[in-house]
Amino acid sequence: MQIDWNPVRRDEALTITKQGDALTINGEVFDFDPLPEGATLPRDAVACDWLASDVERIGGEIHLTLLLPHGADAPEETRFPQPVAMAGDGPVPVPPHSNPEPDAEPQEEPAE
């Protein structure tokens, strides 16, 4: 499965798991197994708010683009994401929503 990303400023989190030709996106399953070779499933035919493109099967592999939510302080790897090629099943690596919070400043001990 080939997943491209379309970054968008959005506060919602995104979790994705791949199982065969199905994606579970934030707990909802979207099964693309019935899509035949060379066919295109229009974006409007899939009731998924995270889908940003048509879904195609090319060379036996599903190709699609998903929205990639990010925070106001998103790192470069999220603002300019690389596609994900998933051969096996499991969690899909989603770029981080925001930069990690800096560690809190150490508290000074009161003088005795």
Residue-level pLDDT at 110: 53
Q: Are 79 and 6 in contact (CB under 8 A)?
A: no
Burial label for 100, CB within 10 Å (0-12, 13-18, 19+), is exposed
Q: What's the whole-number average pLDDT of the chain? A: 91
Domain boundaries, the chain: 2-91
Q: Quick: pLDDT tens for 8-59.
A: 999 998 999 999 999 999 999 999 999 999 999 999 999 999 999 999 999 9
- Which of 16, 15, 92, 21 has the alpha carbon at shortest distance from 62? 21
